Amino acid sequence: MSNVAFIGLGAMGSRMAANLLKAGHDTTVYDLSQDAVKKLQSAGAKTADSPREAADGKEFVFTMVRDDEVSRAVWLDATNGASAGMKNGAIAIECSTITPAWARELHDALGKKGIEMLEAPVSGSTPQAEDATLVFLVGGAEGTLKRVENVLAALGSSTRHAGPTGAGTLAKLVTNTLMGVGLSTIAEMIGMLRRHGVDAKQVLDAVAGTAMWTAHLTNDTKSMLSGDFESKFPIKLLAKDLGYTVTTAGGDSMVPTVSAVHNVFLKAMDEKLGDLNMTAVVKLFANDKRINK
């Protein structure tokens, strides 16, 4: 089994690190949250006091953090960054949703230190992280991916090689953008159906029999209609990802539809919904006591 570090123990990262332990990998973890660290320590993980210490001498180093800025600090901080502790030939695996520009910059910076890199953002939320059924959207060299495949197998059900560095992050942004547009549309349609006084579930059940429907929409609609907004993927993170898509595409005028949807999720944040599950965006459109409680 492999000698692995995992940095970033939020809702996704904590579950991924736990699955590495279950698969028998020698796993060292780091996070600012000591509660998250202690929980994994009790499951058999080794712990570290900095990203650098966690990564020291490891063959594979994973990160799952919030954004470009945190990723930069975790990897490249001159004193405590993970890259300062990694050996020549080790592999950095960035699972966070970042911009392709930062992914390429990080790849170049790590390469100068003799460290290989894969970007491996995931499709899936906390249930898939828990069940080790994530889909990895990988950018990087095929040879590097082959070295990592056995470790990724402990975390996901599928690995899709999107192309060179930057392509994996682009694939993730496309995935989350499609999700955001679909969510916003369904939320608006539920609002429309409510205003027409019909049974929204019955109408959408009819639509679900068409080619336009997906399993993802089934789950999201159930959440919206029931008012169950337990956070699996919060609005604030989807808003961040949509913002990355707009920036990556070249600005609002290049992706007007995405820009409009981004503004919907920013409005949801203004309405103090940012910590709720992404499906809570329906609160902006549906006048329903159960939804708007």
CA dist list (Å): 140 to 6, 89, 154? 19, 15, 20
44: tokens are: 């058999």
Question: Closest Cα partner for 189 from 36, 181, 108, 100?
Answer: 181
Place of tokens 């820009």: 259
Across 185-194, b (16+ Cβ under 10 Å) vs e yields ebbbbbbebb
Q: Of the candidates 280, 159, 266, which has an alpha carbon nearest to the alpha carbon of residue 229? A: 280
CA trace torsion 219, 224, 227, 232 (10° rounding): 50
Residues paired with 163 in a beta bridge: 139
Q: Where are the beta strands (DSSP E) in 64-105?
A: 91-94
Q: Is 172 a catalytic residue?
A: yes
> Which one from 172, 236, 240, 283 is the annotated catalytic residue?
172
Picking from 79, 80, 59, 140, the residue whose alpha carbon sits closest to that of residue 106 is 140
Strands 122-123 and 134-139: antiparallel
Q: Which residues are catalytic?
A: 172
